[in-house]
Amino acid sequence: MRGVQAGLVSPDGEFKEAGLLRIGEGPRTYCMKIVIAPWERGFGEEALDEIAGLWNRNAGSRHAFFPWTGALLSRVWLAGGMVSTSRLLEARLDGRLVGFAHFSWMREHGYPHAGVVEAILVDAEFRGKGVGTTLLARGIEALRGIEPGLAFVDALGAWPCGFLYTCLADGSERSGVFSGEPALASLFFRAGFREARRSLVMRAPAVASGRVPPPGIGVRVSRRGSDTWLDRVFRARECWDHDLADRRGDVLSRAIYGHMPGESLAEGRTLFSLFGVNTPTHCRRRGWAEHNIGLLLGHVAGLGCDCVELHVYTDNVPALALYRRTGFTEIADTAMMHLPL
């Protein structure tokens, strides 16, 4: 199928709209009507199997790809409290799902009240015809109506927004629009989104280095409770603190890690995510973070981990230098894109 004339028309001006698309050439020209409407099929496994299928067929090349099933989507949406704070739009041709977009809004303490495009996806053979543009425009319109106080809309979930498809599903921090996704970037750009901040996705092999803590310094690994900001952001995930501590037990540097089930499944090896590294201000530039990351890479290797992944803002000079020094190399880069409202 080749699109000759694209454009969705909205004869009645209502949210549920009809699209008229001319496909093909000459005598083979025919019309099809894509109906874009709010998702009204509920959040049960069977209904969500349709979305999972569309996602799995079309998003496989995304760095943040996670293979879904309806059952998993249903569980994650309910666990993440997504049902009451998000809206889903569907695009259908003769009953067949050809696209969907998922929008949410969040109030994270200390952060602007933001809307998020959690996901937007159009079946490969229906791209370039205005379906994505219309899904995006309708979703933003809906967000404005539901939550008038939003400061901006974030494209594809840069932390602390948009945890659903990457963070919650895969225990990773990957978010935003990857530089290998020009069509997606252009879709958001045309809708008025602008780049707000860039990030790198970096990886290092997990290897035991034979490194031991300096005399008088200990390593403590503990499971995080369910009431920290990280547990709230990565709601269904298990995270661990890998701490370097002095004799009194005071933390000299902390690294937080977890398992990445989705990417591990996709790559056939075990990946862990390093969510954050922090050294108390008065302990910085003494090598504690570097030492702790070295120990952590050995610790997770002992747990069967092959590779550790992290996400770092390119303007975080200390962190970037630290990660390069501890063996992390860049594998992808993403842009946080915002539409100010």
Ligand X SMILES: CC(C)(COP(=O)(O)OP(=O)(O)OC[C@H]1O[C@@H](n2cnc3c(N)ncnc32)[C@H](O)[C@@H]1OP(=O)(O)O)[C@@H](O)C(=O)NCCC(=O)NCCS
Pick the binder of ligand X from 199, 253, 264, 270 (CB under 6 A): 253
Q: Tell me, letter by letter, the H, E, C secondary structure of 72-112.
A: HHHHHHHHCCCCCCEEEEEEEECCEEEEEEEEEEECCCCCC
| Interface with ligand X, residue 295, by CB under 6 A | no
Strands (E) located in 125-182: 152-155, 177-178
Pick the binder of ligand X from 3, 67, 287, 327 (CB under 6 A): 287
Tokens of 129: 């015809």
Contact region for ligand X (CB under 6 A) — 12-20, 64-72, 215-223, 318-326?
318-326
| Interface with ligand X, residue 200, by CB under 6 A | no
| Interface with ligand X, residue 273, by CB under 6 A | no
Pick the binder of ligand X from 194, 205, 286, 304 (CB under 6 A): 286
CB of 301 to ligand X, least distance (A): 20
Residue 39: CB atoms within 10 Å: 19
Specify the amino acid at residue 201.
V
Contact region for ligand X (CB under 6 A) — 47-55, 161-169, 180-188, 272-280?
272-280
Q: Which residues lie below 8 Å from residue 132, measured CB to CB, with a gap of 6+?
A: 99, 101, 120, 122, 187
Pick the binder of ligand X from 277, 308, 336, 337 (CB under 6 A): 277
DSSP H helical ranges for 191-306: 229-233, 261-267, 288-302
Pick the binder of ligand X from 75, 127, 198, 284 (CB under 6 A): 284
Tokens of 121: 């996806």
| Interface with ligand X, residue 278, by CB under 6 A | yes
Pick the binder of ligand X from 73, 312, 335, 337 (CB under 6 A): 312
C-alpha span between 264 and 270 (Å, rounded): 5
| Interface with ligand X, residue 289, by CB under 6 A | yes
309: exposed, middle or buried (C-beta count within 10 Å: 0-12, 13-18, 19+)?
buried
Contact region for ligand X (CB under 6 A) — 58-66, 212-220, 277-285, 300-308?
277-285
Q: Which is nearer to ligand X, 70 or 276 (CB)?
A: 276
C-alpha span between 302 and 136 (Å, rounded): 45
| Interface with ligand X, residue 321, by CB under 6 A | yes
Contact region for ligand X (CB under 6 A) — 163-171, 176-184, 235-243, 316-324?
316-324
| Interface with ligand X, residue 85, by CB under 6 A | no
Q: Which helix (DSSP H) or strand (DSSP E) does residue 121 occupy?
A: strand 114-122
Residue ranges in 212-251 that form contacts with ligand X under rule CB under 6 A: none
Q: Which is nearer to ligand X, 33 or 286 (CB)?
A: 286
330: exposed, middle or buried (C-beta count within 10 Å: 0-12, 13-18, 19+)?
middle
Pick the binder of ligand X from 132, 258, 262, 276 (CB under 6 A): 276
| Interface with ligand X, residue 35, by CB under 6 A | no
C-alpha span between 185 and 193 (Å, rounded): 9
Q: What residues make contact with ligand X under the rule CB under 6 A?
A: 253, 276-279, 284-290, 312, 316-319, 321-322, 325
